[in-house]
């Protein structure tokens, strides 16, 4: 009888344990489902389910409420990671920067979907014949149509950013954007460096070309345009031509070079020659037309365009260019609101 009683106790314990394991398995499945729906952090998903007595619909609503509150609290945290997104039509190109706190979030497909949607929204604002800058306030109240399995429907840009920030558990913000119109007889070339998918990257080079004969050899123009856009990314030009270098920047550079040359102890005539020689090197560093072409350093960019003009039988010129890099100008600890913006020639 003692053996029988012990056996009953063991069986009861097994039954209780089996029931426990079954319940735990169901809970794990609910956690998995809610994570797939929301992409929220695991600990937040579990906490919401526990507080909602494992009701997945109630937990999802609770997560959204919590997430938006946390997103607003995190909005002051530094967001220097993220992606650049490009959208283009035959008449214009838009480039926007969407920031987050970590590269991990930048690789998330929801974040990437939002970035591409924002670029397309910026493109829809194109109505000018010249390049223009887009600040976050220009877009935040406009409507956005999201079509991602985990976040879809029509909402405002600001609400979409807040929603994604809540889902990611990080500060997410639209920092800046630019729209460049296509020249009347030309096109825009772009190059994205470190690109996780088409239209996205961490560094962007944009170049607008114009040709006198708009019906000339398009293939050659596109080939060289793409190469020059890549050059913009690699060579980091600041100005299109020497004439566009601001006089104060030029005077400052000349003063620095003169001070360096005077320390050599050479004659005034020699010093002036040294300054002029070093000034030419300065132009080669910062002026697009004077830079050595990255794919053939025996010629500069101006020579590349001259050769292209001969090849297509019509004069080709660069109208403007733009180089942007994720996080440039954002200090690790932001102490003020000033930020370095990309150069548009």
What gap in Å lies between CA 308 and CA 23, rounded to an integer?
71
Q: What is the per-residue pLDDT for 345?
A: 44
With respect to residue 326, please indicate whether it lies within any of the assigned structural domains. no
**69 and 93: one domain?**
no
DSSP per-residue letters across 127-170: --SS-EEE-GGGTTTSEEEEEETTEEEEEEHHHHHHHHHHHHTS
CA 34 to chain CA centroid, Å, is 29
- d(Cα 90, Cα 181) in Å, to the nearest integer? 9
67 and 95 inside one domain: no
Same domain? For 63 and 149 the reply is no
Taking CA atoms, 174 is separated from 7, 83, 171, 231, in Å, by 66, 10, 10, 27
Q: Which of 165, 181, 197 represents a domain boundary (last residue)? A: 181
SS3 27: helix
159 or 291: which leads in pLDDT: 291
Model pLDDT, residue 174: 95
Q: Work out the pLDDT band at 62, boundaries 50, 70, 90.
A: confident
Residues 93 and 176 in one domain: yes
Cβ density class 229-259: b for 16+ within 10 Å, e for less? bbbbbebbbebbeeeebeeeeeeebeeebee
Please tell me the predicted confidence (pLDDT) of residue 199: 97
* Strand duo 132-134 + 186-193: pairing: unpaired
Q: Write down the residue that tokens 């708009």 correspond to.
A: 214
Identify the domain containing residue 116 by its residue range: 77-181
What DSSP element (H or E) covers 105? helix 103-106
Q: Please tell me the predicted confidence (pLDDT) of residue 321.
A: 95
In contact, 216 and 318? CB cutoff 8 Å: no
What pLDDT is attached to residue 69? 52
Q: Examine residue 51 and state whether it is found in any structural domain, yes or no.
A: yes
83 and 70 within one domain: no
Is residue 14, in this structure, part of any structural domain at all?
Answer: no
What is the pLDDT, as a whole number, of residue 300? 97
Helix (H, G, I), strand (E, B) or coil at 231: helix
Q: How confident is the model at residue 58 (pLDDT cuts 50, 70, 90)?
A: confident
Residue 289 domain-assigned (yes or no): no
| Number of folded domains that form the chain | 2
31 and 118 co-located in one domain: no
pLDDT at 39: 65
The answer on 81 and 52 residing in a single domain is: no
Please indicate, yes or no, if residue 124 is contained in any of the structural domains: yes
Q: Are residues 177 and 86 in the same domain?
A: yes
110 and 146 assigned to the same domain:
yes
Domain final position from 181, 204, 230: 181
Domain at 62, CATH number: 1.10.8.10
Whether the per-residue pLDDT at 282 is higher than 60: the answer is yes
CATH value at residue 166 = 3.30.479.20
> For residue range 178-236, what is the model confidence (pLDDT) as tens digits?
999 998 888 999 999 999 999 999 999 999 999 998 667 889 999 999 999 999 999 99
Domain limit, last residue, from 126, 156, 181: 181
**C-alpha angle 58/60/61, rounded to 5°?**
65
| 91/128 same-domain check | yes
- How far apart CA 261 and CA 263 sit, in angstroms, is 5
- Report the C-alpha gap between 271 and 5 in whole angstroms: 107
Asked if residue 96 belongs to a domain, the reply is: yes
Question: What is the DSSP annotation of 58-102?
Answer: HHHHHHHHHHHHHHHHHTTS---EEEEEEEEETTEEEEEEEEES-
Q: Is residue 41 part of a domain?
A: yes
For residue 12, pLDDT beyond 70: no
**Which helix or strand (DSSP H or E) is residue 300 part of?**
strand 296-300
Of all residues in the chain, the percent with pLDDT exceeding 70 is 84
> Is the per-residue pLDDT at 21 higher than 50?
no
Any domain includes 12: no
Report the number of secondary-structure helices (H) and strands (E) in the chain. Answer: 10, 13
Angle formed at CA 11 by CA 6 and CA 16, multiple of 5 degrees = 125
Residue 162 above 70 pLDDT? yes
State residue 334's pLDDT score. 47
Residues found in the chain = 345
61 pLDDT band, cuts 50/70/90, is confident
- pLDDT higher than threshold 90 for residue 147: yes
Question: Among residues of the chain, what percentage have pLDDT more than 90?
Answer: 49
pLDDT value at residue 68: 53
Instruction: Give yes or no for residue 344 having a pLDDT over 60.
Output: no
Q: Do 106 and 157 reside in the same domain of the chain? A: yes
Same domain? For 48 and 103 the reply is no
């Amino acid at each position: 009888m003692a053996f029988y009683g012990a056996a009953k106790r063991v069986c009861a314990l097994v039954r209780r344990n089996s029931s426990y394991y079954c319940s735990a398995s169901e809970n794990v499945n609910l956690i998995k489902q809610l994570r797939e729906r929301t992409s929220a952090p695991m600990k937040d998903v579990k906490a919401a389910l526990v507080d909602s007595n494992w009701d997945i619909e109630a937990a999802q609503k609770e997560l959204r409420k919590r997430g938006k509150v946390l997103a607003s609290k995190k909005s002051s945290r530094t967001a220097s990671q993220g992606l650049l997104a490009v959208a283009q039509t035959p008449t214009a190109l838009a480039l926007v920067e969407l920031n987050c706190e970590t590269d991990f979030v930048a690789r998330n497909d929801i974040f990437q979907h939002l970035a591409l949607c924002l670029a397309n929204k910026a493109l829809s604002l194109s109505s000018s014949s010249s390049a223009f800058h887009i600040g976050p306030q220009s877009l935040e109240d406009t409507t956005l149509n999201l079509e991602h399995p985990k976040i879809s429907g029509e909402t405002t840009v600001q609400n979409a950013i807040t929603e994604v920030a809540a889902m990611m558990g990080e500060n997410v913000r639209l920092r800046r954007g630019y729209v460049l119109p296509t020249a009347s007889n030309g096109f825009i070339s772009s190059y994205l460096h470190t690109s996780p998918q088409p239209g996205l990257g961490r560094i962007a080079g944009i170049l607008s070309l114009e040709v006198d004969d708009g019906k000339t050899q398009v293939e050659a123009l596109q080939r060289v345009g793409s190469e020059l856009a890549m050059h913009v990314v690699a060579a980091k030009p600041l100005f299109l031509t020497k004439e566009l270098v601001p006089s104060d920047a030029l005077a400052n550079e000349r003063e620095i070079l003169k001070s360096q040359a005077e320390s050599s102890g050479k004659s005034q005539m020699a010093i002036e020659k040294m300054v002029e020689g070093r000034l030419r090197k300065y132009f080669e560093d910062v002026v697009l037309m004077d830079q050595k072409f990255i794919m053939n350093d025996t010629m500069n960019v101006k020579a590349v365009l001259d050769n292209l003009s001969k090849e297509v039988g019509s004069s080709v010129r660069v109208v403007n260019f733009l180089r942007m890099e994720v996080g440039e100008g954002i200090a690790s600890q932001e102490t003020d609101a000033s930020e370095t913006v990309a150069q548009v020639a």
